[in-house]
Amino acid sequence: MNQMASWGEWLRIAVEGLATAAFALSGAMEAARKRLDAVGVCVVAFLAAFGGGTLRDLLLDQRPFFWVRHVELLWAVLALCVLAMLFLRDRHFVLTEKAIQWPDALGLGLFAAVGVDQALQHQLPALVAVLMGVITGVFGGVLRDMVCNEIPSAFRDHRPYAVCAFAGGWVYVGLLYLGQPGSLALLACVAVTAGLRGLALWRNWQIPGWRA
């Protein structure tokens, strides 16, 4: 039993690390496309990787930030940026973007679950908790795009992303409300979010836009 919990913990850390790397890489590649310098590449990667969770902590008034408690995350993203600048070239971008879609989807689910969980610990209403989950998962990418002077792709590419985290967040809240244990709710939230995201990419689902 104890061993299972520790396996679960390890799995979570592995998914979190992979997802953070995927988010950071998406930032570094967007910075590269905009021809930013080394400082810009690092800052945009940091924003993409840590922006969502930091905004959540600001809104929930939580200190220290998670990247202060785990300062090794900062060093890892810094190292990733250096490696990316040394070895990743423009011709690798299409492949890299394909490769990070899955860790990105898993990360979206995990970060959403963590956001919902922390909001519920502050006794916030269900809708607010779900929105905190969405913010945790999505606003890293939003800040990344804003600093690169783009309309955030999460708001205009018509591919479900925030919506998957929204659905997953309600699953999390719903299972807790039904008295299920937190670990099951977390797993279900990740599975529903990542599953919906995967389905959406595979079936090319579109969310509606404004009809003129």
3-state DSSP call for residue 135? helix
Determine if 59 is a binding residue for its own copies (CB under 8 A). Answer: yes
Rounded to whole angstroms, how far apart are CA atoms 25 and 45?
7
> Which of the stretches 4-12, 100-108, 155-163, 187-195 binds its own copies when contact is defined by CB under 8 A?
155-163
The answer to whether 92 contacts its own copies (rule: CB under 8 A) is: no
Output the CA–CA distances (angstroms, integers) from residue 205 to 160, 188, 199, in the order listed.
7, 22, 8
* Residue 34 sits in the site that holds its own copies (CB under 8 A): yes
How far is Cα of residue 56 from the mean position of the Cα atoms in its chain?
12
- Contact pattern for its own copies over residues 115 through 144, marking x by CB under 8 A: ---------xx-xx--x----------x--
Neighbour count for residue 7 (Cβ, 10 Å):
10
Task: Note whether 82 binds its own copies by CB under 8 A.
Answer: no
| 74 near its own copies, rule: CB under 8 A | yes
What residues contact 42, with CB distance under 8 A and at least 6 apart? Answer: 77, 78, 81
71 binds its own copies (CB under 8 A): yes
Q: Interface residues for its own copies in 164-203 (CB under 8 A)? A: none
Q: 34 is written with which tokens?
A: 């905009």
Among 5, 58, 83, 199, the residue binding its own copies under the rule CB under 8 A is: 58
Contact with its own copies (CB under 8 A) among 45, 51, 67, 141 = 67
Nearest to 143 by CA among 52, 74, 38, 73: 52
Please tell me the distance from the alpha carbon of residue 6 to that of residue 206, in angstroms, as a whole number. 39
Angstrom distance (rounded) from CA 116 to CA 143: 20
- Residue nearer to its own copies on the CB measure, 1 or 94: 94
Contact residue for its own copies among 146, 174, 201, 205 (CB under 8 A): 146
Here the tokens at position 150 are 């783009």
Please give the residue ranges that form the binding site for its own copies (CB under 8 A): 31-32, 34-41, 43-44, 54, 58-59, 61, 63-65, 67-68, 71, 74-75, 85, 89-90, 124-125, 127-128, 131, 142, 146-152, 154-158, 161-163, 207-212
